[in-house]
Structure 1
């Protein structure tokens, strides 16, 4: 009887552990949903750069998008307080996609503002997270790279809409940027299947942009700055 009682107590402990784990995951999911909502709002604002009035007012679109960063930082701060120390990767899947999306948004903002590549450190700082798990809640390097790879599809679309709006210089600059980005990723030994697939997509997007550049060139619409 004592053995059966001890066994029951052991399984009661297991049950308590599982319930606590489930409750924690639900709390984390709730925080992630709030983060996702803010990220969607930022993405929606950024999408306006594809419209003619948005292309002509890129700076104001970026400024409005950046106004959401305090909320983003607060969301990540709440997650950092909720996730047990040293268990980041145990729960990582909950916020992996939205973090990649935020890395993309941050990288796109930097490009629209300066036409430069957003560094890992700059993106992490904008989001209110850090680079190494020893320092706290981190922006995983692969999540940052995934965010960069999302840029190509957005910029290839931006190129087409820029031409429609009469901006014939931008496609040449975007082509140069994506070419350099592609060259950078070629230096990496990508073992992550998701990153490899997205890199293949980047090559396809670069090809589309180069076709636009070629079409502008043969039609005599290549701006003097790029001749």
Structure 2
């Protein structure tokens, strides 16, 4: 009886889908129905030559393509977002330029302080290194002016100059210790670096 049912089912499924694999006759009827059932709406086929623009147009939703009234409002939101991104990028570029100037001055200061290991007179070494402090103070003043343009967003951009500031403070602490034999205090660092330091 099972063989008769299997043969009848096989010929019936073959009449529905002549290209069905012979494996469907081996599987149970439930799986065979799933495998032999034709797709009602085949997925769109794109050749390799189809442009990405046409592909994206094919998948656009009908309301947006037909001129949905919310489309202009959405475009305005993205336009405002694009303007914010450009302003933020410009601000970051300016901050990074100042940070590079600070880093350059810190490297010069560091190279001057390396002369301590060559038994040079200490006042001579410190005078050369101190010549960079005024320049670094000017750079921090420029940085403070830039940050006043984006008040309330100090920590958003803080990472762009934090490493350079740590280097400068380490060098100032070393200079202060070589000169006085004492540790450099926070207030003293603020006096050396100027108006930018109150933010750090």
Tell me if both proteins adopt one fold, taking TM over 0.5 as the criterion.
Answer: yes
Which position in structure 2 is the counterpart of 1:50? 117
Q: What does residue range 207-222 of structure 1 map to in structure 2 within 5 Å?
A: none
Are the aligned partners of 1:73 and 1:128 in contact in 2 as well (CA < 8 Å)? yes
The residue number in structure 1 matching 2:102 is 35
Query: What is the TM-score with the length of structure 1 in the denominator?
Result: 0.55
Q: CA RMSD in A?
A: 1.4
Q: Is 1:69 aligned to residue 136 of structure 2? A: no
Query: Who is 1:106 aligned against?
Result: 172
| Residues 121/128 of structure 1: CA separation in 2 closer, same or farther (3 Å cut) | same
Q: CA separation in 2, counterparts of 1:131 and 1:75?
A: 12
Q: Judge conservation of contact 2:136–2:193 (CA < 8 Å) in 1.
A: yes
Structure 1 residue ranges, 4+ long, deviating more than 4 angstroms after superposition: none
2:74 paired with 1:7 = yes
Deviation (angstroms), 1:87: 2.1
**Per-residue CA distance 1:165-220 (angstroms, 9 max, x = gap):** xxxxxxxxxxxxxxxxxxxxxxxxxxxxxxxxxxxxxxxxxxxxxxxxxxxxxxxx
Unaligned runs of 5+ in 2: 1-67
Deviation at 1:27, TM superposition (A): 1.1
Tell me the residue number matched to 1:78.
142
| Cα distance in 1 between the residues matched to 2:74 and 2:160 | 34
* Counterpart-to-counterpart distance in 1, 2:74 and 2:109: 53
1:122 lines up with 2:198 in the alignment: no
Gaps spanning 5+ residues in structure 1: where?
133-137, 140-227
In the other structure, the counterpart of 1:22 is 89
TM-score, normalized by length of structure 2?
Answer: 0.62
Instruction: Measure the CA separation in 1 of the matches of 2:155 and 2:91.
Output: 15
Distance in 1 (CA, whole Å) between partners of 2:197 and 2:86 is 32
> Within 1, Cα distance between the matches of 2:196 and 2:162?
15
